[in-house]
Amino acid sequence: MHKLAYLTKFLCFFACTSIMQVSKTEAHDSNGCPIKVDVSNIAKTRDILIFGEIHGTKEMPEYFGSVICSLVTDKNFVRKITVLLEHPKSSNDELQEYLKSDYLSSDNQKLINSSPWNKRLQDGRASVAVLRLVKELGVYKKNYPQLNIQAWVDYNAAEKQRNLDSILARDLTNLYDKDHNSLVILLIGNYHGNSNYSNNMVSFLDRPYKYYKLVSMRGDSWNCTKSSVTSPLECGINPVRENITVGSDITRELPKNVCSPNQGEINVGILTASKPARINFEK
């Protein structure tokens, strides 16, 4: 029995690795997207699409933006898209105002002066790369009006209930139920979407979803860590080391089939730390 279980696990690992490993492609595609991404297998899905990231990198927001770009520039794709960013719901008005702007330096500065960009502790969710992503999403929206971008994390409700992930699942369900024809896509810390954890967002979610963990075997990210249990949080550039199942080739397409029916991994290559946008503006 143990030998059979081991063999099944080995074959599953081999199959997943083989299916999800693809060759490198050009950095820019013919539609002007930063990275060429094959989105043919998600264009018609009714599932919520969750992309899990390591905060504070250049490559992960760039890949996520390329997924959106590849969808909105596909002449056969005509659906509404709701993009959710891991920013406070209370900051959504400032976000919407920025998305309607001309993205001048003064517009950037006005956004940076608001939450979460102006927080003292920056964990990578308001980085230079995320600011670039927000700007790109705004440009896509002007050419594709069916694109809706929201800051959606209700930290106030989460503080009252003392359970952020149950609130995330509740609000994600409500957004999904409003319009089943809309493609709901979110970029969020990889803990929240991983079904291997308990008491996280997807453990409370009872709507169909697919989770794609953005991964890398090495590189750097900007994050906040503690040197000991009692020490304060310190934010800065730190190395990233992950055990991943995909091969060493950079994956530039969404997995079409994985052993877990609702989970996959996408190797985005060597990571480059992306500093907080606020720090960049203060230079």
Residue 208 lies in a domain: yes
Write the Ramachandran bin of 202: left for phi over 0, alpha for psi from -120 to 50, otherwise beta.
alpha
Find the mean pLDDT for residues 85-102. Answer: 97
The residue type of 30 is: S
Find the mean pLDDT for residues 45-74. Answer: 96
Residue 16 lies in a domain: no
The residue type of 260 is: S
CA atoms within 13 A on the CB side of 220: 9
Please tell me the predicted confidence (pLDDT) of residue 261: 66
Residue 241 lies in a domain: yes
Residue 214 lies in a domain: yes
**Which of 272 and 32 is assigned the larger pLDDT?**
272
Residue 5 lies in a domain: no
Residue 20 lies in a domain: no
Instruction: List Cβ neighbours of 200 (8 Å cut-off, separation of 6 or more).
Output: 165, 191, 192, 193, 194
Residue 15 lies in a domain: no
DSSP 198: S
* Prediction pTM value: 0.86
Instruction: State yes or no: pLDDT of 131 exceeds 90.
Output: yes
Structural domain containing residue 242 = 25-282
Domain count, the chain: 1
For the domain that residue 222 is a member of, what is the CATH number?
A: 3.40.50
Per-residue pLDDT band at 16 (split at 50, 70, 90):
very low
Nearest to 185 by CA among 142, 148, 157: 148
Residue with tokens 């906040």: 224
